[in-house]
Amino acid sequence: HQLLARQWQHRASGSSGARRGCCGRHQCGETRRGLAAAAAAARWWHVGRRGFVASVEAGAKGEMESTMKEIRGGGAPCVLDMDDAATVGGGVEDTYGEDRATEEQLVTPWTVSVASGYNLLRDPRYNKGLAFTEKERETHYLRGLLPPAVTSQELQERKIMHNIRQYQLPLQRYMAMMDLQEGNERLFYKLLIDNVEELLPIVYTPTVGEACQKYGSIFSRPQGLYISLKEKGKILEVLKNWPERSIQVIVVTDGERILGLGDLGCQGMGIPVGKLSLYTALGGVRPSACLPITLDVGTNNEELLNDEFYIGLRQRRVTGQEYADFLHEFMAAVKQNYGEKVLIQFEDFANHNAFDLLARYGTTHLVFNDDIQGTASVVLAGLVAALKLVGGTLAEHTYLFLGAGEAGTGIAELIALEMSRQTKTPIDECRKKIWLVDSKGLIVSTRKESLQHFKKPWAHEHEHVGNLLDAVNAIKPTVLIGTSGKGQTFTQEVVEAISSFNEVTFIVLTCFTFYYFEQYLMVFCKKM
């Protein structure tokens, strides 16, 4: 560190801005380039009266390559040797985006200013409200900007919970929580962690669905990044407008299939925001490492297009090659700006796009679809747990699904994969033990030509069956799983039918969202 400090002094000695400890905001372009070059050799910390300026570590490419190769050993593979053309969009020289993240910034790219005083109280990441201690108020120039009382975070929590409970409508509670998140981030997550059972239905489903429907009316401050067709060709620049650089998780939606509500266009932003709030509260992911994104490619919702408060593009949704090119530019820009390790979660895309995106980018990006893969993993875990009570193996059961969308086909595929892994049987053979019912009845081979591509693997040889009850009597399943958006389908007659030829019947409510009438049920049986 002493050697690096001497290198810093030697390289930056000609810069008056460096001698003054200036953050570089007022330097000319030539001086900023000189400072940036000097910063590549060392870390520099400066503590000033109104806050502090911290350097972001950057290394000269040649020196870093040789150093990393020495550490790994000559024969070890190195990402620095990767061919740029091997990645989507051509890739970038800096594989993990650490240098590109600070390229072409208006201020000196290796400095970040942390506010104090009045600005500190307006920064939700650092604001603590009345919980600032006397010493902190003195240090951060908060004297007179706050009432004299000093309260604990626990007292703040009790007060906010008392206020939230006074609201009669869930949407009012949702808006109160969003206001808190925008004003005091630490208190927001403290509240959510300590009262998860009470607040989770407010921050996420079912209340977030109503919030998305009325997002234009309740919108006050942006909580994520909006990328619309207007930004086509400039998506990388838009990503650089986001203030955080060390992004680890991106939840992105195009708003076409929001929960069970359909196409909500740009107003689907409530879903990525809510999902990432849960990842922080329940998963421990840093809020600054999370980025909610809405891709606005239009909407086919006539009600929204005619709504004067709608916040998105007022045009019909684009499809086909134009949509694919826009998504490809987005995926390439994310990888270029944030690197290969950032997780991109596709959320609430329509079925036809959701499967295509996973297939297209599953080998080039770290991608995940919660509706297809997340739900599947939870249901499979439930099946494995139920086997301990029922006995037998996955391959010994016959499965019938109500619903053949993203969730249904995703669960079915994961069950088949696990069955194949356990029995060493080809997956096509394992799929034959799994049957799906959609809105037109049992999925069978005679319907194959009219089926969407993700349903075709489940089209087996059988006569046409028009409804769930008839399918239960025809297939005689031992496992019945519901993933339908239509309620009141698991009727008494269906349960009695499946119980008539099974000795033991377990009915498991895996997920039920009453606001959208979604029905996620699992009936697990043991044959007589």
Q: Any idea what the Cα angle at residue 508 is, between residues 504 and 514, rounded to 5°?
A: 145
List of residues 6+ apart from 523 with CB closer than 8 A: 479, 480, 481, 490, 495, 498, 505, 506, 507, 508
The yes-or-no answer on residue 310 being catalytic is no
pLDDT at residue 522 in the model = 63
pTM of the model: 0.73
Contact 89, 333 (CB under 8 A): yes
End-to-end Cα, the chain, rounded Å:
74
Question: What does the pLDDT look like over 364-398, one tens digit per residue?
Answer: 999 999 888 988 998 899 889 888 888 889 999 99
Contact 344, 250 (CB under 8 A): yes
Contact 284, 277 (CB under 8 A): no
Domain spans, the chain: 121-203, 215-365, 374-526
Distance CA 440, CA 455 (A): 12
Distance CA 95, CA 518 (A): 42
CATH of domain 121-203: 1.20.1370.30
Residue whose pair of structure tokens reads 């969202």 in the numeric block: 513
Residue whose pair of structure tokens reads 């600032």 in the numeric block: 132
| φ and ψ of 401, to 5 deg | -110, 135
Contact 379, 522 (CB under 8 A): yes
Q: Where are the beta strands (DSSP E) in 167-256?
A: 225-228, 249-253
Please name the amino acid found at residue 504. Answer: V
Which pair of tokens denotes residue 424?
A: 């060493």
**What is the four-CA torsion angle of 348, 263, 275, 170, rounded to 10 degrees?**
-140
Catalytic-labelled residue, pool 174, 204, 215, 338: 204
Question: What does the pLDDT look like over 69-109, one tens digit per residue?
Answer: 454 444 544 433 444 444 444 444 444 444 444 444 444 45
**What is the four-CA torsion angle of 155, 157, 158, 161, rounded to 10 degrees?**
160
The pLDDT tens digits along the chain (528 residues) read 444 344 444 444 443 333 333 443 344 444 444 434 443 433 333 333 333 333 333 344 444 444 444 544 445 444 334 444 444 444 444 444 444 444 444 444 544 556 789 999 999 999 999 999 999 999 999 999 999 999 999 999 999 999 999 999 999 999 999 999 999 999 999 999 999 999 999 999 899 999 999 999 999 888 999 999 999 999 999 999 999 989 999 999 999 999 878 999 999 999 999 999 999 999 999 999 999 999 999 999 999 999 999 999 999 999 999 999 999 999 999 999 999 999 999 999 998 899 999 999 999 999 999 888 988 998 899 889 888 888 889 999 999 998 888 889 999 999 999 999 999 999 999 999 999 999 899 999 999 988 988 999 999 999 999 899 999 999 999 888 888 766 677 788 888 888 888 776 666 555 544 333 344 556 666 665
Tell me the sheet residues that pair with 511: 520
Taking Cα atoms as reference points, which of 424, 386, 300 lies closest to residue 350?
300
Taking Cα atoms as reference points, which of 263, 368, 351 lies closest to residue 313?
263
Coil/strand/helix, residue 451: coil
The yes-or-no answer on residue 275 being catalytic is yes
Helix (H) or strand (E) holding 111: strand 111-113
Question: What does the pLDDT look like over 407-428, one tens digit per residue?
Answer: 899 999 999 999 999 999 999 9
Give the domain 374-526 fold: Rossmann fold (3.40.50)
* Residues in the chain, overall count: 528
**Residue 108 backbone zone (phi > 0: left; psi -120 to 50: alpha; other: beta):** beta
Which pair of tokens denotes residue 291?
A: 């980025």
Catalytic-labelled residue, pool 128, 226, 275, 279: 275
Residue whose pair of structure tokens reads 């301990």 in the numeric block: 388
C-alpha separations of 326 from 226, 228, 330, 354, 388 in Å: 14, 9, 6, 15, 48
pLDDT at residue 526 in the model = 62
CATH of domain 215-365: 3.40.50.10380
Contact 345, 252 (CB under 8 A): yes
Taking Cα atoms as reference points, which of 321, 324, 366, 329 lies closest to residue 349?
324
Distance CA 491, CA 447 (A): 26
Distance CA 438, CA 451 (A): 10
Contact 287, 182 (CB under 8 A): no
| Fold match, 121-203 / 374-526 | no
pLDDT at residue 457 in the model = 93
Distance CA 238, CA 249 (A): 17
List of residues 6+ apart from 470 with CB closer than 8 A: none
